Amino acid sequence: MKIWWIMIGLGLGTFIIRVSFIALFEKWEIPTLLQRALRFIPASVLFALVIPQLLTYNNALDISPSNPRLIAGMLAGLVSWRTKNVMLTILSGMLMLWLLQAFCASP
Partner 1 sequence: MPTNCSEFSSGVKSLLPILVGVIPFGLISGIAVIQTNIPATHGMVMSILIFSGAALIVALQLINAGAPALVVLFSALAVNLRFMIYSASLAPHFKRLSAGWKTLLAYLLSDQAYAASILHISESASPEHSCWHFLGSGLTMWTAWQISVGIGMFVGASLPANWSLEFTIPLTFLSLATPAMKDRPTTIAAFIAGAIAVLARGIPFKTGMVIAVLVGIGIGMLIEEWKR
Binding site for partner 1 (CB under 8 A): 2-3, 5-11, 13-15, 17-23, 26, 29-30, 34, 36-56, 61, 69, 72-73, 76-77, 80-81, 84-87, 89-90, 93-94, 97-98, 101
92 closest CA partner among 73, 67, 106: 73
Write down the least CB distance from residue 66 to partner 1, Å.
16
- CA-CA-CA-CA torsion for 5, 11, 16, 18, nearest 10 degrees? 160
Whose Cβ is closer to partner 1: residue 43's or residue 65's?
A: 43
CB 71 within 8 A of CB 96: yes
